[in-house]
Homo-oligomer: A and B are copies of this chain.
């Protein structure tokens, strides 16, 4: 198979070059290439791409800002793909970190200044044989499930349709409308669902009240999905084990907010997908799409210009 000519601009990071060449592409100038990997924002994007360009890969998961430019209008015959889904793995890893650190009582251990084994060991739990409900089985949720499976967790996946999530470790898939059944029979909950009017305060006072004193609630989606005041009450009362939050409501969390000081609240300031990890993740996404393009297969994360996303 002849290597597929691909242009890389405006930056030329080695990682992306390797991703392209390793996936069956060969680096080429824009005028000789069949595709363009654009590893930056809209600023500096070519006004008019040559006719030989069939596909453009953009470097962001949400592409709202690209719709504010004439780029799509000027290139009606070019297929654009975003980086949607590319960053799911780092967010899933982050959520696993928060869940494991909570369940295994790391915060109390870090606060200790003495070898108090008996006292500290008591609070160590395990994800093994624990029921973990993953609300939202999109990219992040699915990645998280693949991390939970070898730990021996029993995953309840919740998605909109209830169509079975066919991944190891999933013992049950529930449609979103059956979520109320979950709270009394899960050990932990990870929120990875989109923010919509329907998911606002999905975790509120009534839901928290049904969880166990050892239960952890992880939110790496959007702050609005959790009722912060109800959560603070539960954390203070110790009716749940704790919360790991990469997103909060309000966000940013103001100085002096009780969540900063509660020992069973692990707050990371919406940095589960930090800038320095994005290029690595993007390179994997590019490799996948270059490989698909070279083989004439359907690309992932295609932009639907008419639909606006």
Task: Give chain A's interface residues, CB within 8 Å of chain B.
Answer: 89-90, 93-94, 96-98, 100-101, 104, 106-107, 109-110, 112-117, 120-122, 124-129, 146-147, 149-152, 251-255, 260-261, 266-272, 274-277, 280-281
Contact = CB atoms under 8 A, between A and B. Distances in A.
Contacts of A122: 274, 276
**How many copies of this chain are found per oligomer?**
2
Contacts of A149: 150
Contact of A100 (B100, B117, B120, B275): B100
17 contacts: A93-B104, A93-B127, A94-B104, A97-B101, A106-B266, A109-B267, A109-B269, A110-B110, A112-B260, A113-B260, A113-B261, A115-B252, A115-B255, A117-B271, A124-B276, A125-B277, A149-B150
Contacts of A280: 126, 128-129
B104 A100 contact: no
A106 B109 contact: no
Q: Which of A113, A252, A281 has the most CB of B within 10 A?
A: A113
